[in-house]
């Protein structure tokens, strides 16, 4: 905290006295002014303060990290922000799901071929049902978030403006 | 006057001018859209952001802001970053599954050329194992992040 020593990065930027119970001080130390500057630029100090106040203390560090991540993404890509990366990753997941389905179908075909060649347990209909139960393609789990959010995504997938989000996602870890 | 205001100006209780920058993207028939965006970003930040963009990109920007605001309201700790993390985990898991499946195909094809007696039935079991491993990895990553601290 910053009352006895130098003010935190937030109070320094906002040019105010850094109180002992400053809500920003634990998460925006004075040696990293850029961190608060970017969050303030995108969300605004008062919005960040409200958001943090609504969270239990043990969750505030992660919340700040995610806000910094989002703010950085928005500054880098003012049109799409994090949504560009989300759209790209969803496309990757879809492609992998398709490849996996193809591969699993190929295994089915090879196994059927083996059984036909053996001609010992040649029951294609039964095998089909049994194998369908076993070889489920990898599917996105239908979490609450994804169910509610998927309806908002269509605009991103239809756009051609995805400014290399792969580099964005790969270059920095989740909590840069 | 009130019938002509966009959702933003109605929310902010101000007059909606003809050149209101927010009105094309926050129509009066969807007040919740602006309310969400305002709650996370604030009207002036949204206005500044849209002003800096060329007109033909503002609609997409407003949509993405709304999306991220909704994510943040639903998950106040991680917002849409939680979704990114989930997708990265799913990609990692799917890639592992794909590599394993392709390896099994290669083995089965070689068995076709050099017949053996043991059929491959490992996929459903290994799927569960991979999923369990990816779940454990997810737990490890989260606890590491929390313990390393971002203060």
For A12-60, the pLDDT digits (tens) are 999 999 999 999 999 999 999 999 999 999 999 999 999 999 999 999 9
Percent of chain B with pLDDT over 90: 68
Round to whole Å and give the CA distance between A146 and B87: 10
Nearest CA-CA distance, residue A90 and chain B, Å: 7
Tell me whether residues A149 and B85 touch, CB distance under 8 A. no
CA-nearest residue to B127 within chain A is A138
Interface test with B, best of A70, A99, A112 (most B CBs within 10 A): A70
Round to whole Å and give the CA distance between A34 and A14: 13
3-class SS shares of chain B: helix, strand, coil, % to 5 = 70, 0, 30
- Looking at beta carbons, which residues of chain A come within 8 Å of B149? 61
User: Which pLDDT does position B111 carry in this prediction?
Assistant: 79
- When pLDDT is cut at 50, 70 and 90, the band that residue A118 belongs to is confident
Interface test with A, best of B66, B68, B115, B134 (most A CBs within 10 A): B68
The per-residue pLDDT of chain A, averaged, comes to: 77
Residue B21 has pLDDT above 50, yes or no: yes
User: Which pLDDT does position B7 carry in this prediction?
Assistant: 95
Residue B113 has pLDDT above 80, yes or no: no
Nearest CA-CA distance, residue B72 and chain A, Å: 9
Residue B67 has pLDDT above 70, yes or no: yes
Tell me whether residues B119 and A114 touch, CB distance under 8 A. yes
Residue A116 has pLDDT above 50, yes or no: yes
Look-up of token digits 């991680």: B78
What is the mean predicted confidence (pLDDT) over B91-107? Answer: 95
Round to whole Å and give the CA distance between B29 and B20: 16
CA-nearest residue to B37 within chain A is A43
Q: How many CB atoms lie within 10 A of CB B121?
A: 10
Tell me whether residues A152 and B52 touch, CB distance under 8 A. no
Residue A94 has pLDDT above 90, yes or no: yes
User: Which pLDDT does position A125 carry in this prediction?
Assistant: 55
First to last CA, chain B: 49
Residue A153 has pLDDT above 80, yes or no: no
Structure-token pair, residue A22: 């400053």
Are the CB atoms for B126 and B100 separated by under 8 Å?
yes
- When pLDDT is cut at 50, 70 and 90, the band that residue A123 belongs to is low
Nearest CA-CA distance, residue B86 and chain A, Å: 10
Q: Domain ranges in chain A?
A: 9-76, 81-117
- Looking at beta carbons, which residues of chain A come within 8 Å of B120? 107, 111
The per-residue b/e assignment along A62-96, b for 16 or more CB within 10 angstroms, e otherwise, is: bbbbbbbbbbbbbebbbbbbbbbbbbbbbebbeeb
- Looking at beta carbons, which residues of chain A come within 8 Å of B93? 138
Residue B102 has pLDDT above 50, yes or no: yes
Are the CB atoms for B68 and B34 separated by under 8 Å?
no
What is the mean predicted confidence (pLDDT) over B20-34? Answer: 95
3-class SS shares of chain A: helix, strand, coil, % to 5 = 65, 0, 35
Of B41, B52, B68, the CB nearest to A83: B68
Q: Domain ranges in chain B?
A: 7-74, 78-110
C-alpha distances (whole Å) from B94 to each of A155, B61, B100, B128 are: 25, 31, 10, 12
Total residues found in chain A within this entry: 176
Q: What is the dihedral of CA B22, B24, B28, B29, to 10 degrees?
A: -140
* CA angle, residues B110, A111, A134, in degrees to nearest 5: 125
* CA angle, residues B129, B131, B136, in degrees to nearest 5: 95
- Looking at beta carbons, which residues of chain B come within 8 Å of A51? 40, 72, 76
Prediction pTM value: 0.70
- When pLDDT is cut at 50, 70 and 90, the band that residue B106 belongs to is very high
Tell me whether residues A82 and B82 touch, CB distance under 8 A. no
User: Which pLDDT does position A122 carry in this prediction?
Assistant: 55
Residue A175 has pLDDT above 70, yes or no: no
């Amino acid at each position: 905290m910053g009352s006895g020593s130098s003010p935190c990065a937030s109070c320094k930027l906002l040019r105010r006295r850094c109180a002992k119970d400053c809500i920003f001080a634990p998460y925006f130390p004075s040696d990293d002014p850029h961190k608060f500057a970017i969050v303030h630029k995108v969300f605004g100090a008062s919005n960040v303060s409200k958001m943090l106040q609504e969270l239990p203390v043990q969750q505030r560090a992660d919340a700040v990290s995610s806000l910094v991540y989002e703010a950085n993404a928005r500054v880098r890509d003012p049109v799409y922000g994090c949504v560009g990366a989300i759209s790209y990753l969803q496309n990757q997941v879809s492609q992998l799901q398709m490849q996996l389905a193809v591969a699993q179908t190929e295994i089915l075909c090879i196994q059927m071929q083996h059984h036909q060649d053996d001609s010992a347990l040649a029951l294609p209909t039964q095998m089909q049902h049994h194998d369908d139960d076993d070889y489920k393609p990898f599917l996105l789990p239908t979490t609450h978030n994804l169910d509610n959010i998927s309806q908002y995504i269509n605009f991103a997938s239809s756009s051609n403006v995805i400014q290399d989000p792969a580099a964005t996602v790969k270059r920095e870890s989740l909590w840069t | 006057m009130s019938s002509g205001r966009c959702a933003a100006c109605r929310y902010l209780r101000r007059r909606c001018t003809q050149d209101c920058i927010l009105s094309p993207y926050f129509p009066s028939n969807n007040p919740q859209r602006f309310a969400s965006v305002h709650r996370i970003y604030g009207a002036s930040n949204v206005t500044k952001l849209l002003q800096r963009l060329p007109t033909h990109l503002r609609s997409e920007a407003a949509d993405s802001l709304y999306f991220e605001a909704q994510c943040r309201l639903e998950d106040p700790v991680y917002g849409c970053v939680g979704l990114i993390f989930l997708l990265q985990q799913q990609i990692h898991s799917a890639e592992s599954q794909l590599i394993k499946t392709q390896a099994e195909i290669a083995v089965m094809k070689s068995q076709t050329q050099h017949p053996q007696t043991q059929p491959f039935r490992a996929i459903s079991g290994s799927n569960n194992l991979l999923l369990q491993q990816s779940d454990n990895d997810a737990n490890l990553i989260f606890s590491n992040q929390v313990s390393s601290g971002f203060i």
